[in-house]
Amino acid sequence: MKNIYFVQANNVYGNERRSVYIPYASGCIAAYAFDDKKISEVCKLAGFVYTHMPIADAVEFLHDPFVVAFSCSVWNYEYNKSLAKAIKRKHPDCKIIFGGHNVLRDFGTFEECPEVDYLIYREGEEAFKALLLCLIEKTSPENVENIAYKKDGKYIKTAEKDFCLSEYPSPYLTGIFDSITDGKTNFSAILETNRGCPFKCAFCDWGTLGSRIRPFPMERIRAEIDWIASHGIEYVYCADGNFGILDRDEEIAEYIISSKKKTGFPKNFRVCFTKNRTDFVKKICTRFNEYGLDKAQTLSFQSLDPTVLENIGRKNISLDHFRELMNEYSRCGISTSSELILGLAGETKESFSKGICNLLEYGQHKAIQVYTCDLLPNSEMGAPEYVKKFGIETVRAPFMQAHCSALEKHEVQEYNTAVIKTDTLPTEAWIECVAFACLIQAFHNIGFFRTVALWLRNECGKSYFDIYSATEHFSKQNPNSANGSVYRLITDFATGMSQGRNGWAVPCEGLGDICWQFDEIYFMKALENADSIFDELEVIFSSESEKADEIHAVFDYQRRILKRTAQSGIRIESDYDFYNYCKRIYEGRYAPLEKKKTILTVSGTVPCDTLLDYACSVVWYGRNQAAALWASDCYSPEILS
């Protein structure tokens, strides 16, 4: 029998309870290939490499390999190249096949890794099976579509074809993963209910494929959910690009809910919702939220600037409709999250900074995720002509996955290609945008300063842009102040990334051996010196307000509503009803702050004796539920007037 191995090295998440994604992409390729009788008769699925295990151990794991097939992504590409080189040294006759998102559409991967024998482009199931049959039969692969190979010192690329099958064998149901799901590894799962995307966003490599959506059979989907539940898998990520785009997605959602009610699994089901069926998506999201499956509805924009949207081929919902949705979700107790990408073509410091503040103006108070723009090799944005047109410059930054161990150094460092300059956004401005975004995320979204900002916006007539620009200005002008030291730390991290010295996630003193996002570090370091930071901010904004009593009261409320380590419950007496004041703003029912004596109490204890405990339970796990505030989605207060 000829031994076939698959390599899909994924990151290990967590600190004490560690988990890794099941190698779903490789499993799909294997399931389709071994469904062929000729292949199954002469070949054996010999195993998977699904973590960044030491190169020497991985080579030792391979016994007389006939083919080793690699799934290439940004988090494993360098590892794959190093492992391929080591395999060829020991097994020179073994055929090395690379496929996946990081395989360059030209012959660049051959140049980067001469040990690779074949490249597979686009979806891999049919090309891999056809190529494997050629290798078994020792025939020419010239008629196998979507591949490239070497012949007589030259590179040959075959015709590209968009395959349209939707009934591939399931790797879960065909036993492909039986050898690794033995209870020794805490796996997270991938569920794919359809394949394809109708949109053509320039930053995404799906857009270049132009593939229609192909639904997988419902009986397969239900059976895979049953398999996931029977294996006690807690976390499931849905690979669909646009969950909710098909009417039947509601039926899938209900089956997942039924599975959790009956078996307890999956505990969490994370999806990327489609962007243009907001009412239908809200219906599904409400059900998920009711059963704690997916606690935050994503309403993404990527940018709010019309020129940028035109440059990236994207159209967003209107901000007025966004405001209505935010109010409605808030009234229903459903958290939401919005995404922006920093570094898109045409973005400026002003457009980005005002854009993120506009999300606050239109009601997105709880969760904004900002991502750096990574240049994916097979996206429209990654094309040389696009790069030249918009003056894009990138840096090869170390790839460190957020919330993975920082001490568990991979033998081979991975990198991502981050945009740090365009013809409208100099690198210095990019660094300032990173720091400003982290300030918004830490102070407003996670909640460090949010109540004060709501009051300043609604009672003093200041825009959120004015409020946080003033905070930024003070921090920049006073680098040795409490605010300035945190701002300077984040600026240093951003500068380090722009120079390729660190990535978007980094370890930080006092926060264990986990890599944290910059905005999370901003919040945690502010929390460490909270009283001094509040003292400085109160001086700044008291000088700009005539409501001395109210501003002192709102700062006092903000200090005390902020959850601290080693704290059990709160009792806040105030001359103002800040809780209901904020609640009305979240729900789009603004009314002036009422002056009446209130007592707000919240009982309960969250085990956060250390800063690391707090960072994990509150900032990592609980940020979309505003867990940093005692009166939030996580904590129900009692109010006495």
pLDDT at 17: 64
CATH of the domain at 21: 3.40.50.280
Secondary structure of residue 511 in the 3-state scheme: coil
The whole-number average pLDDT for the span 338-357 is: 96
Q: Give the sign of the dihedral formed by CA 290, CA 278, CA 342, CA 375.
A: positive
Give pLDDT tens digits for 237-260: 999 989 999 999 999 999 999 999
pLDDT band at 211 (very low <50, low <70, confident <90, very high): low
- In angstroms, how far apart are the furthest CA atoms of the chain? 86
Rg of the chain (C-alpha set): 26
pLDDT at 344: 96
Residue 426 vs residues 346, 360, 381: alpha-carbon distances, Å: 11, 25, 18
Q: Report if residue 352 sits inside a domain.
A: no
Q: How far apart are CA 410 and CA 245, in angstroms?
A: 38
Among 119, 125, 193, 194, CA closest to 150: 119
| Complete DSSP assignment for 517-582 | EHHHHHHHHHHHTHHHHHHHHHHHHHTT-S-HHHHHHHHHHHHHHB--TT-EEEEEEEEE-HHHHH
Q: Report if residue 541 sits inside a domain.
A: no
The whole-number average pLDDT for the span 596-611 is: 80
pLDDT at 458: 96
Is the confidence at residue 61, as pLDDT, over 90?
yes
Q: Report if residue 102 sits inside a domain.
A: yes
Angle at CA of residue 145, ends 139 and 149, nearest 5°: 60
CB 97 within 8 A of CB 131: yes
Q: How far apart are CA 493 and CA 502, in angstroms?
A: 7
Cβ neighbours around 20 below 10 Å, total: 18
What mean pLDDT, rounded, does the chain reach? 90
The whole-number average pLDDT for the span 608-618 is: 84
Extract the tokens encoding 198: 């109708």
CB 258 within 8 A of CB 287: no
Q: Report if residue 79 sits inside a domain.
A: yes
pLDDT at 641: 62
> 């240049």: which residue's tokens?
375
Secondary structure of residue 247 in the 3-state scheme: coil
Which of 66-80, 109-123, 236-250, 294-308 is the least confident region? 294-308
Peptide bond into 198 cis (omega under 30): no
pLDDT at 15: 56
The whole-number average pLDDT for the span 491-520 is: 93
pLDDT at 16: 58
Structural element, H or E, at residue 129:
helix 125-137
Q: Report if residue 136 sits inside a domain.
A: yes
pLDDT at 510: 85
pLDDT at 147: 93
Q: Which domain holds residue 25?
A: 2-157
Is the confidence at residue 213, as pLDDT, over 90?
no
Q: How far apart are CA 527 and CA 402, in angstroms?
A: 20
CB 447 within 8 A of CB 626: yes
- Tell me the residue type at 142: E
Among 19, 6, 31, 35, CA closest to 172: 31
Q: Report if residue 507 sits inside a domain.
A: no
Give pLDDT tens digits for 402-431: 887 766 667 889 999 999 999 999 999 999
Among 417, 340, 425, CA closest to 382: 417
Is the confidence at residue 628, as pLDDT, over 60?
yes
> 């062929």: which residue's tokens?
36
Kindly provide the residue ranges of all beta strands, DSSP E only, lying in 72-184, ordered along the sequence.
95-99, 118-120, 147-151, 154-157
CB 547 within 8 A of CB 460: yes
Residue 102 vs residues 106, 119, 120, 156, 238: alpha-carbon distances, Å: 11, 11, 11, 19, 21
The whole-number average pLDDT for the span 518-544 is: 94
Q: Total structural domains in the chain? A: 1
Is the confidence at residue 320, as pLDDT, over 70?
yes
- Tell me the residue type at 564: R
pLDDT at 208: 62
Q: How far apart are CA 425 and CA 404, in angstroms?
A: 31
Our CA dihedral for 563, 565, 566, 570, rounded to 10 degrees, sits at -10
pLDDT at 575: 94
Q: Report if residue 611 sits inside a domain.
A: no
The whole-number average pLDDT for the span 635-639 is: 69
pLDDT at 194: 93
Q: Report if residue 78 sits inside a domain.
A: yes
pLDDT at 608: 73
Mean pLDDT highest for which of 70-84, 264-278, 618-632? 70-84
Among 440, 447, 314, 448, CA closest to 373: 314
- Regarding pTM above 0.85, the answer is yes
pLDDT at 351: 97
CB 224 within 8 A of CB 172: yes
